[in-house]
Amino acid sequence: MAIPLIEPPRAERLPPWIRVRPPHGPVYPEVRELLDGLGLGTVCREARCPNLSECWSAGAATLMLLGTECTRRCGFCAVTTHWPRGVVDRTEPARVAEAVRRWGLRYVVLTQVCRDDLPDGGASVLAETVSRIRESSPETLVELLIGDLGGTREALELLWSSPPDVLAHNLETVRTLSPGVRDPRAGYDRSLGVLASARRTGPPRLVTKSSIMLGLGEDQVELETAFGDLRGAGVDLLTLGQYLRPSQVHLAVQRYVPPEEFERLRGRALAHGFAGVEAGPLVRSSYRAEQLYRQAFAAREA
């Protein structure tokens, strides 16, 4: 079901529980200088994440691999769409590993733009990047947030040559809304298939993770179904956050979900059996990623 691009009044104000703070603190400029100096992109900037201030001020950022331009055009996403014709910067994995080493990170989140112009969707570059980090920063935990890699098992299995600690892939929304929210090349069932395949073919200690945006028109029954579908695919961790419209050309927000409802939904998700759930208006896929991972690890060890 497609979601109409309803133009809200220009004077529309965000609800009082959504407050995005400007960048601040002594660590923020150091993070910015390091990333700019190595020519690295971040999803924090490209997707206009509302938590950029909090995360960068704490010395954390989500690094974007395979460039900063995506071959897909999802209705919710601010990342620039472009067809790179197979061009890949082969120096990127080494530069990412150098950033992680100089940053001294205990935990790093890597994500990617979708690269439908590459036969493996960019999986070989992702695997090389993780491998380089393992070599230069062996104590660092790595979370890899991937696209669907074209939905092929062969592309996904390329990642197991140097597997991450956490393999994340976002469902994004409920089944009925997926066709109108995501690029036509994506799909609800394809995403579930990627997650289930990661659980089935990945290493035994691999933690899997997904994310859903709220406020696009979903209802409680559809969310409960999505929770069950994700658990059926073996997903360990879940994040729930409010969709915020990046610009007037993107999908309109249908509803702002209050914090108390996020908390209730967190409880419902945990009841489905997830090892850890982060839920809140400004929660995004990689928000407090290390804490969430350690919850999953503790649950497995218990």
pLDDT digits (tens, 9 = 90+) for 259-273: 999 999 999 999 999
Q: Which domains does the chain have, with CATH numbers?
A: 27-301 (3.20.20.70)
Distance (Å, rounded) from C-alpha 94 to C-alpha 171? Answer: 30
Show Cβ contacts of residue 191 under 8 Å, excluding neighbours closer than 6 positions.
148, 169, 170, 171, 172, 210
Sheet of 207-214: strands edge to edge?
41-42, 62-65, 107-112, 141-145, 166-168, 207-214, 237-242, 276-280
Predicted TM-score of the model (pTM):
0.87
H helix or E strand, kind and range, residue 180: helix 178-181
Residue 107 forms beta bridges with which residues?
141
Reduce the secondary structure of 100-122 to three states and give it as a string. HHHHCCCEEEEEECCCCCCCCCC
Element (H, E) at 141: strand 141-145
The pLDDT score that the predictor gives to residue 2 is 40
Query: In whole angstroms, what is the distance from residue 79 CA to residue 82 CA?
Result: 10
Residues (pLDDT < 50) of the chain are: 1-11, 46-47
What pLDDT score was predicted for residue 184? 95
Q: Which residues of 91-123 are buried (b: 16+ CB within 10 A; e: fewer)?
A: ebbebbbbbbeebebebbbbbbbbbbebebbbb
At a CB cut-off of 8 Å and minimum separation 6, what does 204 contact? Answer: none
Report how far residue 12's alpha carbon sits from residue 10's, in angstroms, rounded to the nearest whole number: 5
